[in-house]
Amino acid sequence: MLFNLETDSGEQIVFYVVPDTFSAVPRVRIVSARRTLLEIDANEIREALVAHARHETGRCGFSIDATMIPGLAKIRDLSIYETETNLLVYRRRPDKCIERKVLNLSASLLPPRSMDNYLKGLFHYSAIQLEAHGTETVSQLFLLNAVNSLYLSGRILYKNYEVYAENGFSTFMCVDDPYVMLAERIIILGMVERNRSADQIIGHRDALMLKQAAEFAEKLPLDDGKALRKAFKALPPEIAIAFVDPVVRLLTATTPTDMARSGAVAWALDELASFKVVGIRRESALYADTIGEYLGIGPIAEPLLAGFPKILALADILREEARVEHLIAKDLELYHHVESAFEKSVSDEMWETQ
């Protein structure tokens, strides 16, 4: 999906939204104070979209004025969302916002929702759960050049957007114990398969791609260590790929099926070294406070969730299985380096304050 604001004169807002479906007519929802003021289909034609074969009819333009929304010019908190994806298309700039562009990168299937929900309102524009959108849409978000206050968050393959992220973005990432992350992934996939709730929890795109892995996870005997180890020994390669080195692959791969190549750990470490803030999940409060300090907003009272007891218990079982260690070998190597660097940084800071 492509979109852009063309003008906001106060009394009139003109913009376009090009949907992923070639012939679809886009629809938007206009909101103020959490109340929908108007829902409307595209009401203008953009001939250039037809000429460049981007849309069948070109009916992708919107013109909203005070005859549709009385007092339009005075509504300072107005936001416009595309109805199918709920993606923010345009938001009038608030009086105060953080003047930075931020990418909060995550490899977890459980997005950092509490932190996202806290931070996104402090920026002019925000989009979370980027993994729910296609490459074109995510690229569009990085290219909102007229917006200098921007917060993006999600589980995306970093190499595909590195050229954008290096152009003015501050990137944050929190790295977790690979065994805990694997346990979390198994439990979440099993849960969404049992509850048929994949679209709501991991998004429609991932639900399709991880379908086989979810079916495998749903059948795992999580309370029986011996049976669990046996299941992983018989894990088919086409399912195993959903569990292999998720962090290293997030940082170095360009497609979801790419495996981590030789030298990938060093490559991933180079990427992490270029980020503004890198933390570890077991010290999530410190990670959140470091972000708050960097953004100039003070301590953040919405750190990442700590591991749930069931996840930690499964992680301890997984640590005993050699086949599992093989699946996450590169992530284990990466985490060792990150954890060592983190502990040295904390130790040095404590030494300086003595």
Asked whether residue 82 falls in the same domain as residue 111, the answer is no
Asked whether residue 33 falls in the same domain as residue 152, the answer is no
| Confidence band for 202, pLDDT divided at 50, 70 and 90 | confident
When the pLDDT of each residue in the chain is averaged and rounded to a whole number, the result is 91
The answer to whether the CB of 220 falls within 8 A of the CB of 311 is no
**Between 285 and 61, whose confidence is greater?**
61
Tell me what pLDDT residue 336 has: 97
Strand pairing partners for 234? none
pLDDT higher than 60, residue 303: no
Query: What are the DSSP E strand ranges found in the chain?
Result: 2-8, 12-18, 27-32, 35-41, 44-45, 59-65, 79-82, 88-91, 101-105, 125-127, 150-154, 169-175, 277-280
pLDDT higher than 70, residue 170: yes
Which among 92, 120, 144 is the end of a domain? 92
Tell me what pLDDT residue 350 has: 40
We report the CATH number of the domain holding residue 68 as 2.60.40
Which among 76, 92, 108 is the end of a domain? 92
Asked whether residue 282 falls in the same domain as residue 352, the answer is yes
Q: What is the C-alpha end-to-end distance of the chain, expressed in Å?
A: 54
- Report the pLDDT averaged over residues 302-325: 82
Taking only the tens place, the pLDDT of each residue in 209-231 is: 899 999 999 999 988 888 888 89
Tell me the H-state helices in 30-161: 47-51, 113-120, 135-142
Percent of the chain with pLDDT over 90: 72
DSSP character at residue 288: H
The answer to whether the pTM exceeds 0.75 is yes
DSSP character at residue 259: P
| Confidence band for 285, pLDDT divided at 50, 70 and 90 | confident
Asked whether residue 71 falls in the same domain as residue 204, the answer is no
HSE of 136, CA atoms in CB hemisphere, 13 A: 9
Asked whether residue 243 falls in the same domain as residue 118, the answer is yes
Asked whether residue 147 falls in the same domain as residue 51, the answer is no
Asked whether residue 21 falls in the same domain as residue 134, the answer is no
Q: Which residues of 139-163 are buried (b: 16+ CB within 10 A; e: fewer)?
A: ebbbebeebbbbbbbbbbbbbebbe
Asked whether residue 124 falls in the same domain as residue 141, the answer is yes
Asked whether residue 72 falls in the same domain as residue 21, the answer is yes
Asked whether residue 160 falls in the same domain as residue 248, the answer is yes
Asked whether residue 112 falls in the same domain as residue 5, the answer is no
Strand pairing partners for 16? 4, 61
List the domain range (segments joined by +) for residue 35: 1-92
Helix, strand, coil shares of the chain, percent, nearest 5, are 45, 20, 35
Which among 36, 57, 92 is the end of a domain? 92
We report the CATH number of the domain holding residue 197 as 3.40.50
Per the structure block, which two tokens stand in for 23? 């012939």
Asked whether residue 73 falls in the same domain as residue 113, the answer is no
The answer to whether the CB of 309 falls within 8 A of the CB of 244 is no
- Report the pLDDT averaged over residues 275-298: 92
Taking only the tens place, the pLDDT of each residue in 1-36 is: 999 999 999 999 999 999 999 999 999 999 999 999
Which amino acid does the sequence have at 52?
H
| Confidence band for 199, pLDDT divided at 50, 70 and 90 | low
pLDDT higher than 70, residue 351: no
DSSP character at residue 306: P
| Total domains in the fold of the chain | 2
Report d(CA 87, CA 210) in Å as an integer. 23
Give Cα 190 to chain centroid, integer Å: 21
pLDDT higher than 80, residue 159: yes
